[in-house]
Structure 1
Amino acid sequence: MKKIILINLIVVAALNAFGQKPDDVKVLGDQAFANKNYYAAAFYYKEAATGFNVEPQTVIPFRGDTKAGKKVKAENSDYVSYQLAESYRLYENYLEAEGWYYKVVTSGNSAKYPLARLWYGICLRADQHFDEAVKQLQLFIAQYNGAGRYKDMAYEELRNCQFAKEQYLYPALLDVKMMNGKVNNDGSDYAANINNGKRYFTSSRMLKSDKKHLNRIYILSDDANTNPELVSFNNANDKKEIEYGTPSIDPTGKHMYMTRWYKTGDKTVHAIYMSTLGGNGWEEPVKLNTNVNNEGFSSIQPFITADGKRLFFVSDKPGGQGGEDIWVSDIGADGLPVNSHNLGATVNSPLDEQAPYYDIVEKKLIYSSKGFTGLGGFDFFVTYETVGQWSTPKNMGYPMNSAKDDLYYLPDNNDRKKAYVSSDRESDCCLNLFTVYDKKYILKGIVTDCDAHIALAGVKVSFVDSLSKQTLYEQTSGADGVYAFSVTTKRPYTMVLEKKGYFTKVVSAPTSGRMSADTLINPDICLQAFVINKPIVIKNILYDFGKSTLRPESEKVLDSLVKILVDNPKMKIELSSHTDSVGSDAYNMKLSQDRAQSCVDYLETKGIPESRLFAKGYGKSRPIAPNSLPNGKDNPEGRQLNRRTEFTVLKVE
C-alpha cells in the first residue's frame, strides 16, 4: 500500500506546492507529517529545502569527501533537514535519510535534535555502513541524557550491526530472486499461498474495473507472462472499498481465510474472515467469531495448518506481549475457531510480529519480527514446538533477511529446494514476491585407519562452527566409516574426529571439490592408532653429524607432531632420541639427550606447553636393528634405523 499512498499524495503535494514560497511549503510539510503522510511530507520538505538552498550531504566524509552544502539560515536549514530526514526514515527510505541526518549531526545546532545521531546510526546500519554506524551509535550512547528507551534502542542497534556484519560476511547458502513475469506489478505483491496446484497471492495493482489501487486476491497463471486472475466473492459488498489479502486455504480446499479491511473516517478496521467454496465459486466472506476478532482491535494474516486443525494469526488484542503478536486457535469441524491463545513471550516480543507459517511435520513456526536482533525491519525467525513449548527464535540470516521488511514465508511443496517470500528489499515503497532457492549441500566422506587402509567404525565426528566454536552436529561412523553433514552457510567449519586408541584429528571442512548432485565428496580422512607407552618413530628427523641442532627439513616433519598435540590437548608425550653404536656410551647418551631436547624446544616454540613434553636420550642402549652383520662387518642399514627419533604417548588425561 505504500506506493499507492505515494502516488496519490505526491500528486496532491505537487499541486499544493506549485508556486509556493519555501516557508509556505514547509507548513504543508508540517501538516502532512502531523497526519503521518510521510511521502507527502518528504515531498514538501524537499521543496522547502530547495527554496532555502539547503543541500543534503550527498557525499559523506567517512567515505572520503568533506564537501559541505550551501550556507543558509540555521533555523530554516536544520529544521527542514531534520524533518526531511525523519520523513524519509519513517517510510524506510534510509538511503535518502542518511545524508540529511548527517547534515543535522554536523551542524552547529545539533543539540536541538538529540535523537538525530541515533536515527543517523540506524540509517547507516540499514545502508550497510556498519563500522560508521557503530561509531555513531556509541557517540549517541555517550552523549544522550534523555529517555532510557532510546539508549536501549541504540544498544540493540549495536547488536544488530554486529549480527549484520557477520551475516553479510558469511551468508546463508540461498539465492533470493524477484519473481519474473506479471506477478509483480505497480503496487504491492505479497503473501503467496498454494492450494490444489493453484498459486494465490495478494496484490494492490490497479483494478481495471474502477481504476483504483485496492488490495485483492489473485491466482497466478502457470504462464509467467499471463496476467493473474482476480478472485471474486459472490454477493460481496465492496462499495466501501473493502480490501482483501493474505489468503490461506484449508486442506479440503473449501475454506479460505483472509484479512479484510476498510476505512471508517481516519481509522482502518482489520479483521479475519472466512469464505466457503460453493457451486458458483467463493461465497461472501463471513467474519470469524470473537475467539479471533475482538471489537476495537485488529486481527490479520491468517494461516491454516496443512491438517486444518489450527489457525495461526496476528492480533494486537489484549493478552499479548505488546504490539502485534502471533496467536493460534483450534479449528472445529465447521472451520471456525473454538478458542485462541497467545504464543507467549518466547515467540512474541514487545514490538511487532507478523505473517506466521507453521510446518506440521517439523513442528516449526517461521514468522517475521521487529523485536529481536536482526538485519533491520521485519526479519524471518524460526522456532520449534515441543509439547506446547517454543524454542528460542533463531534469525534466518542473510540473504533470507535484508535491511528492510521480509515477510510471508511459504515453501514450494513440489520442490524442497524452493520457497516464496515477500520483501521490499528492492523497492522504496512496496512488497514484491521473491523466490528463494536453497543452495545448501551435504558434506560426505569416509574415515579410515591410516595403517590398515580400511573403513573405521565408531568414530565420533563433530561438525563445529569455526567462529563460534559451537558444535552443530555429532555423528558416529558405522561399519562403512561414512559421515555426512548439511552445510547451510558460507561460515568456516571444522570437523573433529575422535576414537579411543586413535589420535584425534581436527580438519577444516572443504568448501569446494568434487560434487555429486547436492553432495560435496570429501577425500578420505585417516586416523592413526597409538598404544600408551609404545614408541612411534618420527621419520626424517635429521641432524648434521655429531650435532644436535635441528635441520630445517626436520622442523617441517615436527610440525605434523605439533598438529597432533594441538588436536589432542590432554595428551602428554615423551620425545626420545637414539644413536647407533659408533662412539662411547657417554658421548652417545649426551648427544641423544641434546637431540631429544632440541625437539622439545621446537615444539615449545609452537605453543605446546612444557608440562606436556618430556625429552629423553637413550644413546645406543635401545637398538631396533643390528649395528653390525653376523660376520662382524659394518651394517649401515641397521645403524641408520637405530639413529632415530620417537615419540611415545605417556598419558591421555
Structure 2
Amino acid sequence: MAQGKQEKAPKAKTEKVKAEKATKEKTEKAPKEKAEKPPKEKLTKEQKAEKRSRANTSTETRKINVRRYLKLGDRFYAESAYYTAAEYYKEVVQVKPENRYANFWLAMSLLRARDYENAEVFFAKFGAIKPGEKDKESKWKEEDEKLFTKFHYYYGEVLHRNGKYEQAIGEYSKFKSSYDKEDKASWAKLANNGIKGCELGLNPYNSKIKTNRLSPVVNRAYNELSPMPYDAQTLYFSSLPSDTLVFDNKRKERPEYQIYTTTLADGNWSKPAVVKNEDVNTPKYNAGNGAFNADRSRFYFTKCVDMEDDRSLCNIFVADCKAGKFSNVQRLPEPINYKERFTSTQPTVRVGNDGREVVYFVSDRDGGKGGLDIWFTSRIKSGEYTAPKLVGGSVNTVGDEVTPFWEETTKTLYYSSNGLPGFGGFDVFSTKELADLSWTEPHNLGKILNTGYDELYYNIASDQSRGFFTSNRPGGRFLDGIASSSDDIFTWELFNYAVEGIAYKDGNVDAGPVEGATFQLYKKNADGSRELVAVDTTSKGGNYFFKLKPDEDYEVEVVRAGFKPTVEFVSTRNLPMEDTINKNLGVQKSVYVMYGSVIEEGKPEVKLDDVSYTVIEQSGSGVQRTIMNGKTEVGSLKFAVDLDRDKDYKLIFRKNGYFSKTVPYSTKSLGDKDSVLNDVALTKLELNKDYTLKNILYEFGKATLTETSKEVLDTLYTILVENPTFEIELSSHTDAIGSDAANQKLSQARAESCVSYLISKGIAKERLKAVGYGESRPKAPNTTEEGKDNPEGRALNRRTEFKILKG
C-alpha cells in the first residue's frame, strides 16, 4: 500500500510550505486563490499515454499496479489536482472494491472536487468495509489511527452538505467521541458547529429572496468570482472563460484568471470584455477580488501567483479609477502584503467614523483565530496605510472567514464562513459594528441564499433589495462531469411584498373610500421607535399602495382633514411567499373644517391674504381657551381651521389696515358634514374717521353710564383688544338744549366716563383720549326750518363717537 496520509489540524489552515505533500490533506477553500485557477493537471507524455490506454481498456480484462496508482493518486491530491487524483483512486476501487485506502481518498478527492453526492457514496462504502479473515486487527486499528482519523468528520460534512442532517449529526458525534489527537479542541469546535448547523437545517429559516443564475454568456464552466457592481448597469468580476478542463503540462502555459466587465441592457448581460490594462490583468498572475471605495475613485483588487510549494500567494493592489478606467496601480505596502510569507486578498472598503478609508481583507497571517481571517487597515490622508488588525468579536473562527463586503447604509459587514453553524460549506453571515466598536453575533442569512454548497462574494445594492453572490450549487455547466465543481455568479432580490387598501368612514366600509387622505408608511424599530419610509399622496379615490421588505414590522397611518389619524400594524415576518397584504383603514370623524376666504366688507370681490386668526374654545361655564393661532400665507386667499365636534368657538380675524372681526361658530348639530364654507368680511380701517357707538345712554343731565351703555362700550373694548396698536379719540356730543357751556362740560364728563370704563377693563390710558364737543358738531338740525323743536335731529346729535388716531 502506498505511503499513508496524515491529516493536519484545522488550526494550521494556512497555505505554508508542505514538507510532505503526499501526507497533507488540503482543505478546499473555494474563495481562496486555489479556486481562482484551474485544477493543475501536470501530466507527462508517458502518463498521458497511460491515461489513454486506461480509457480504452476494460478493467475486467487488464490488471493494474495498485501501489503505483495509489501513489499517483496521492501525488495529484497533494498538488490539488483532485479530478485526476479521483481517477487514479477510482481505478483501484474498480479492481479492488474492498481497498479501504482507495475508497477513503477517492471520497476525499471527490469532496475536494466538490462532487458531494459521489463523495457520500464512497465514504459510505469505506464505512461499510469490514475486516476480512486475513486482516490483522492491530494493523486495521493502526490504519484507522494514522490514516482515517477524521473519517467521521468528513463523512458528516458530506452528509451535512447533502441535506442529510440527522445522519450528519450522528457522524459528527462519532467523530467527537473517537478523535483524540493534540488538536482535539479545535476539531471539536468544528464538529460542534457542524451539529449546530444540522440542527439549523432541520428547522431552517428561509431567506425571503429570489435567486437567479446569470446567463451562460457570463457563467462558463470554470469559476466566475468576485462580482462587484460599478453602477446599476456595469459589473466587474473575475473569470477564466473556458468550458473544458484545462491541462497544464507546463506551468507557464496555463491561462490565468482575469478581471472582466459586462453590462446590462434590456435585461440581458453583454459578452464579458477583459479589462485591458496590464497593470491590472498582468501576465502570469491571477487577478480578481475587485472592490470600489465609496465614491468609486479607487479600485482595490488582488493579484495571485502560484508558488513552487503549491501555495497561491496573493497581494492587494489599489488603482485610481475615473469613469471606469484604471491608472496608477500600486501594491499596498508591508505589512499588509508580504512577498512570500502569507496571502492578503479579498478587500472591501468602508468609510470609517473618522472619515478614513477602512479596508477589510482576508489573510492567513499569524495572529488570527484560524486559517483565513478578516483583518482591517486604514488609509490615512498621506495615502499610507496603518498596520493591520484582526476584526474582533465572534466574526473570526477556527474555520475560514472569506469574501467580506461592507454595506455602508446599514453599517453591516457581510462575509462567508465555514467555521460557524450553517447549512454546509461556506454560508453567508452578517454582523454590525456597535457604538463601542464591538460586533454583533454573526447572523446566518438563511436558506435559499445559503445551501449545502459554497455561497461566497455576497454583496448588496444601496436600495437593500438586490445584489450578487457566487455559488457552486448545481444547475450550471458541468466540468469533468461534476455538476457542482465551479462557482457561478447569481443575482438575488427580495421577495416582493406590498400593502394596499382604502380609507373608509368607520363603520361604513360599503360607502366607499374617503377621498383626499394622505397615507404614511412607518418602519417599526426594535426599540419601539418608528421612522417614516414613504408617503402616498398621489393616489386617487382614497386608496394607497406601499412596497414592503421581508421580515420587517410597519405601521400604516392615514391622515385626513376632519378625521382622527388611524394607524394599522403590518408585518411581513411570517409570510412564507410573496404577497400583497390588503389592509383597509377605518377613520372616525373628529373635526369639522371651517374654511373660506377673508374679504373686504362691501367688496366681496376683494379677497385678502396675510390674515392672522385666533381660535378660542368657549365652554358652557364661560371659560375660554385659545387652542390655536394661525395665519394665511402671503398670496393665499383661503383659510382652513379644524374644529372639534360638538363645541362652541369664536374665531378672531386680524389684518393690518382693517378692523378685526370676531366670528362665533358652533360645531354642534353639523351631522355628517366634513367641512363648512364661511367667508369672513373685514372692514377697512380709515384714520381720523368718526365711528358712532350707538345706544350709549346716560341719565338726563348726567354722565353716569347705564348698563346698556357698558355693553356697547364692551364692543369698543373688544376692538381695542383685537387691535392692540389702535390709539383712539373717544368723543361725546350733545343737542342744543341748555347753554353751550353746560353742554360742553357735560359732554366732556361723559367722554371721560367712557374712557374710565375702558381703562377699568384694562385698556392703557395712553391709547385713549377723551374729548367733549358739546353741541358744536351737530349731525342734524336741532330745530326745524320753522324754528320748532326737532326731536329726531336732536337724537342724532346726542351721540358718542370714536376715531382712530393711530392704527
Normalising by the smaller structure, the TM-score range is 0.5 to 0.7
Q: Answer yes or no: is 1:297 the counterpart of 2:349.
A: no
Sort the Cα spacing of 1:482 and 1:279 in 2 relative to 1 into closer, same or farther, 3 A. closer
Match of 1:246 among 249, 274, 289: 289
Is 2:117–2:162's contact at 8 Å kept on the other side of the alignment? yes
Q: Answer yes or no: is 1:106 the counterpart of 2:98.
A: no
Sort the Cα spacing of 1:303 and 1:32 in 2 relative to 1 into closer, same or farther, 3 A. same
Match of 1:220 among 239, 262, 270: 262
Q: What is the deviation of 1:182?
A: 1.1
Sort the Cα spacing of 1:340 and 1:443 in 2 relative to 1 into closer, same or farther, 3 A. farther
Q: Secondary structure at the match of 2:103?
A: helix
Match of 1:438 among 490, 494, 497: 494
Q: Answer yes or no: is 1:134 the counterpart of 2:150.
A: no
Whole-Å separation in 2 of the counterparts to 1:219 and 1:320: 34
Whole-Å separation in 2 of the counterparts to 1:236 and 1:194: 17
Match of 1:282 among 326, 333, 336: 326
Please identify, of 178-187 and 198-207, the stretch whose mean Cα deviation from structure 2 is larger.
Answer: 198-207
Sort the Cα spacing of 1:155 and 1:409 in 2 relative to 1 into closer, same or farther, 3 A. closer
Q: What is the deviation of 1:312?
A: 1.7
Please identify, of 306-315 and 275-284, the stretch whose mean Cα deviation from structure 2 is larger.
Answer: 275-284
* TM-score, normalization by structure 2: 0.51
| Aligned residue runs from structure 1 range 310-329, under 5 A | 310-329=358-377
Match of 1:199 among 211, 224, 235: 235
Q: Secondary structure at the match of 1:118?
A: helix
Whole-Å separation in 2 of the counterparts to 1:122 and 1:418: 30
Aligned to 1:159: 196
Letter in 2 for 1:304: V
Please identify, of 276-285 and 99-108, the stretch whose mean Cα deviation from structure 2 is larger.
Answer: 276-285
| Aligned residue runs from structure 1 range 303-452, under 5 A | 303-305=348-350, 309-333=357-381, 336-387=384-435, 388-413=437-462, 416-426=464-474, 427-439=483-495, 441=497
Sort the Cα spacing of 1:218 and 1:443 in 2 relative to 1 into closer, same or farther, 3 A. same
Q: What is the deviation of 1:272?
A: 0.2
Is 1:305–1:360's contact at 8 Å kept on the other side of the alignment? yes
Letter in 2 for 1:407: L
Sort the Cα spacing of 1:234 and 1:450 in 2 relative to 1 into closer, same or farther, 3 A. closer
Q: Answer yes or no: is 1:520 the counterpart of 2:581.
A: yes
Is 2:226–2:237's contact at 8 Å kept on the other side of the alignment? yes
Q: Per-residue displacement from partner, 1:214-245 (whole Å, max 9, x unpaired)?
A: 11111113354642111122567945x01211
Letter in 1 for 2:567: G
Aligned to 1:187: 222
Is 2:103–2:122's contact at 8 Å kept on the other side of the alignment? yes
Is 2:407–2:460's contact at 8 Å kept on the other side of the alignment? no
Whole-Å separation in 2 of the counterparts to 1:446 and 1:237: 58
Whole-Å separation in 2 of the counterparts to 1:328 and 1:15: 50
Please identify, of 198-207 and 427-436, the stretch whose mean Cα deviation from structure 2 is larger.
Answer: 198-207
Q: Per-residue displacement from partner, 1:40-95 (whole Å, max 9, x unpaired)?
A: 2111101222233x2xxxxxxxxxxxxxxxxxxx4xx2221112112212333221
Is 1:236–1:284's contact at 8 Å kept on the other side of the alignment? no
Letter in 2 for 1:164: G
* TM-score, normalization by structure 1: 0.62
Whole-Å separation in 1 of the counterparts to 2:222 and 2:163: 26
Sort the Cα spacing of 1:237 and 1:204 in 2 relative to 1 into closer, same or farther, 3 A. closer
Is 1:321–1:345's contact at 8 Å kept on the other side of the alignment? no
Q: What is the deviation of 1:480?
A: 0.8
Is 1:187–1:213's contact at 8 Å kept on the other side of the alignment? no
Is 1:188–1:204's contact at 8 Å kept on the other side of the alignment? yes
| Aligned residue runs from structure 1 range 493-572, under 5 A | 519-521=580-582
Letter in 1 for 2:570: A
Structure 1 gaps of 5+ residues are: 55-73, 454-460, 464-471, 491-510, 526-653
Is 2:393–2:438's contact at 8 Å kept on the other side of the alignment? no
Sort the Cα spacing of 1:285 and 1:462 in 2 relative to 1 into closer, same or farther, 3 A. closer
Whole-Å separation in 2 of the counterparts to 1:322 and 1:429: 25
Q: What is the deviation of 1:443?
A: 6.5
Q: What is the deviation of 1:368?
A: 1.0
Is 1:173–1:440's contact at 8 Å kept on the other side of the alignment? no
Is 1:313–1:326's contact at 8 Å kept on the other side of the alignment? yes
Whole-Å separation in 1 of the counterparts to 2:413 and 2:123: 38
Whole-Å separation in 2 of the counterparts to 1:489 and 1:126: 27
Is 1:172–1:488's contact at 8 Å kept on the other side of the alignment? no
| Aligned residue runs from structure 1 range 591-602, under 5 A | none
Whole-Å separation in 1 of the counterparts to 2:189 and 2:323: 56
Is 2:70–2:92's contact at 8 Å kept on the other side of the alignment? yes
Structure 2 gaps of 5+ residues are: 1-33, 55-63, 132-139, 247-251, 475-482, 510-523, 527-550, 558-564, 587-807
- Superposition RMSD in Å: 4.0
Letter in 1 for 2:237: F
Is 2:40–2:80's contact at 8 Å kept on the other side of the alignment? no
Q: Per-residue displacement from partner, 1:186-233 (whole Å, max 9, x unpaired)?
A: 32112111225532111122599x985311111113354642111122
Whole-Å separation in 1 of the counterparts to 2:117 and 2:43: 19
Larger radius of gyration: 2
Letter in 1 for 2:72: L
Q: Secondary structure at the match of 1:481?
A: strand
Q: Answer yes or no: is 1:25 the counterpart of 2:69.
A: yes
Q: Secondary structure at the match of 1:372?
A: coil
Sort the Cα spacing of 1:247 and 1:154 in 2 relative to 1 into closer, same or farther, 3 A. closer
Aligned to 1:480: 566
Sort the Cα spacing of 1:264 and 1:135 in 2 relative to 1 into closer, same or farther, 3 A. closer
Is 1:291–1:337's contact at 8 Å kept on the other side of the alignment? no
Is 1:445–1:484's contact at 8 Å kept on the other side of the alignment? no
Whole-Å separation in 2 of the counterparts to 1:255 and 1:357: 16
Q: What is the deviation of 1:324?
A: 1.6
Is 2:336–2:344's contact at 8 Å kept on the other side of the alignment? yes
Q: What is the deviation of 1:326?
A: 1.5
Sort the Cα spacing of 1:489 and 1:392 in 2 relative to 1 into closer, same or farther, 3 A. farther
Is 1:324–1:352's contact at 8 Å kept on the other side of the alignment? yes
Is 1:114–1:144's contact at 8 Å kept on the other side of the alignment? yes
Is 2:415–2:428's contact at 8 Å kept on the other side of the alignment? yes
Please identify, of 192-201 and 95-104, the stretch whose mean Cα deviation from structure 2 is larger.
Answer: 192-201
Aligned to 1:97: 119
Q: What is the deviation of 1:257?
A: 0.9
Letter in 2 for 1:86: M
Aligned to 1:38: 82
Is 1:181–1:225's contact at 8 Å kept on the other side of the alignment? no
Is 2:193–2:419's contact at 8 Å kept on the other side of the alignment? no
Aligned to 1:8: 41
Number of equivalences: 462
Whole-Å separation in 2 of the counterparts to 1:102 and 1:340: 44
Q: Secondary structure at the match of 1:348?
A: coil
Q: Secondary structure at the match of 2:572?
A: strand
Sort the Cα spacing of 1:245 and 1:474 in 2 relative to 1 into closer, same or farther, 3 A. closer
Q: Secondary structure at the match of 2:201?
A: helix
Is 2:162–2:452's contact at 8 Å kept on the other side of the alignment? yes
Whole-Å separation in 2 of the counterparts to 1:347 and 1:231: 34
Q: Answer yes or no: is 1:262 the counterpart of 2:305.
A: yes
Please identify, of 117-126 and 364-373, the stretch whose mean Cα deviation from structure 2 is larger.
Answer: 117-126
Sort the Cα spacing of 1:309 and 1:16 in 2 relative to 1 into closer, same or farther, 3 A. same
Q: What is the deviation of 1:141?
A: 4.3
Q: What is the deviation of 1:153?
A: 3.4
Aligned to 2:276: 232
Whole-Å separation in 1 of the counterparts to 2:555 and 2:220: 52
